[in-house]
Amino acid sequence: MNILVVGGAGYIGSHIVKQLTDSNHNVIVLDNLQTGHAEAVTKPATFIKGNVKDKSLLRKIFTETSFDVVFHFAANSSVEESMKDPLLYFDNNVSGLIALLEIMNEFAVKTIIFSSTAAVYGDTPEEVITEDTVTIPKNPYGESKRMMEQIIQWCHTAYNINYVVLRYFNVAGADLAGIIGEDHRPETHLIPIVLQVPLEKREFITIFGNDYDTKDGTTVRDYVHVVDLATAHLLAMDYLLEGKESTIFNIGSSTGFSTLEIINKVEEYTGKKIPIRYGSRREGDPHSLIASSKKIEAVLGWKPHYTDLDAIIDSAWKWHINHPDGYENDC
Ligand code: UDP
């Protein structure tokens, strides 16, 4: 299969690229390296540096290869940054997708797997979130993804572009071969930040708020291993190529861990004390996000293989220990 992965040099995209090439697909990655790393694109995938908004570049890429499927990961994804600069999020995320869909339609490429997020749900009173839970994003990042989902759905209606939208909960861990992993600059995600303390790159963790209505007052999230997440993408692709109905799936582990519990787990795993400080709430943070993954389990037969936090922490730790400064050759 010929597959275009837009944003395939980022943390999540690169893990999907690896599984796709491991399954012998011909993969072309388009990424502007704004947050990604060329080194994260594992061979034999082909890497093209460029912006998804660049329609003449897209036309050239689509002329050279006849794609069966497109995966979209090219998006800014920090809640905090989106609160400060919403226009960046609407411009990069939404206009990038529009350009891609326009060219897909022009070249009659009718299959897209879209990387979405639990941030579309916002603060919901429901303890466990299903795909039918109402979406009221609490930050521009989540809003931009919700808009992108809607754009894709209208393109399905109008141009017959088929889609699977995957709403990720908190993705963590690294590929077990140890070649690729998480390297955001600056890092904002909880697990890699906590690991920075035993790695002696940080002295303490600031917990953003301990007055939430949760088990210990800190925010609760549902962590899913990036390798399990990648597997779900391949299943979603096969599902669409079998001609099945376009749809949306949550992907999580259906278990919630508080921020404090994550810190305790990392302490246990590394045997190193992690000092904490309590700070104020981070703007835009929902109190709790836990997925129901029943739909993806029933429809795609997906089941997470790495079901406990230890497997996530273990793979992330190995990546960071072996790559203390992340990827070496680029930003
Ligand atoms: N968090 C924290 N301190 C940090 C980083 C994150 O307390 O230094 C909290 C954050 O407020 C959120 C949770 O950890 O509730 C997970 O944050 P992350 O950025 O990893 O993912 P998000 O859920 O925002 O996508």
- Rounded to the nearest angstrom, the distance between the alpha carbon of 177 and the centre of ligand 1 is 27
**Does 260 share its domain with 155?**
no
Same domain, 239 and 295: no
Residues 265, 150, single domain; the answer is: no
Pair 202, 124 in one domain: no
Task: Report whether 5 contacts 20 (CB < 8 A).
Answer: yes
Cα(286) to centroid(ligand 1), Å? 10
The yes-or-no answer on residue 141 being catalytic is yes
Q: The whole model's pTM is what?
A: 0.96
Answer whether 9's CB lies under 8 Å from 40's CB.
yes
The answer on 275 and 154 residing in a single domain is no
**pLDDT per position in the chain (331 positions), as tens?**
999 999 999 999 999 999 999 999 999 999 999 999 999 999 999 999 999 999 999 999 999 999 999 999 999 999 999 999 999 999 999 999 999 999 999 999 999 999 999 999 999 888 899 999 999 999 999 999 999 999 999 999 999 999 999 999 999 999 998 899 999 998 899 999 999 999 999 999 999 999 999 999 999 999 999 999 999 999 999 999 999 999 999 999 999 999 999 999 999 999 999 999 999 999 989 999 999 999 999 999 999 999 889 999 999 999 999 998 899 875 4
pLDDT of 127 reads 87
Query: Atom 20 (ligand 1): residue with closest C-alpha?
Result: 189
Q: Report pLDDT for 261.
A: 97
Task: Name which residue sits closest to atom 16 of ligand 1, judged by CA.
Answer: 190
The structural domain count of the chain equals 2
For the beta carbon of residue 298, count every other beta carbon within 10 angstroms.
Answer: 10
Domain co-membership, 241 together with 285: no
pLDDT score of 178:
84
pLDDT at residue 71, as a whole number: 98
Residue nearest to atom 11 of ligand 1 (CA): 208
209: tokens are 């708020």
Residues with CB under 6 A from ligand 1: 79, 170, 188-190, 193, 205-208, 219, 221, 259, 282, 285
Say whether both 147 and 209 belong to one domain.
Answer: no
Query: In this predicted structure, what is the pLDDT of residue 330?
Result: 57
Separation of CA 280 and ligand 1 centre (Å) = 12
The answer as to whether 184 is a domain residue is no
The verdict on 230 and 293 lying in the same domain is: no
Q: Could you tell me if 246 and 286 lie in one domain?
A: no
Output the residue whose Cα is nearest ligand 1's atom 3. 207
- Do 291 and 311 belong together in one domain? yes
Residue environment code for 7-40, b if the CB has 16+ CB neighbours within 10 A, otherwise e: bbbbbbbbbbbbbbbeeebbbbbbbbbebbbebb
Domain that holds residue 303: 190-221+254-322
Q: Specify the ligand 1 atom closest to the Cα of 77.
A: 25
| CATH number assigned to the domain comprising residue 289 | 3.90.25.10
Q: Which atom of ligand 1 is nearest to the CA of 220?
A: 15
pLDDT value of position 27: 98
**Separation of CA 189 and ligand 1 centre (Å):** 6
Residue 331: predicted pLDDT: 47
* Pairing relationship of beta strands 205-208 and 46-49 according to DSSP bridges: unpaired
Is 133 in the same domain as 215?
Answer: no
- Domain membership flag for residue 327: no
Catalytic residue chosen out of the listed positions 141, 212, 223, 327? 141
**Of ligand 1's atoms, which has the minimum distance to the CA of residue 279?**
7
Q: What is the CATH number of the domain that holds 66?
A: 3.40.50.720
Tell me, yes or no, whether 183 lies in a domain: no
282: tokens are 């981070």
Among 144, 189, 218, 288, the mutation site with the greatest number of ligand 1 atoms within 8 A of its Cβ is: 189
> What pLDDT is recorded for position 201?
94
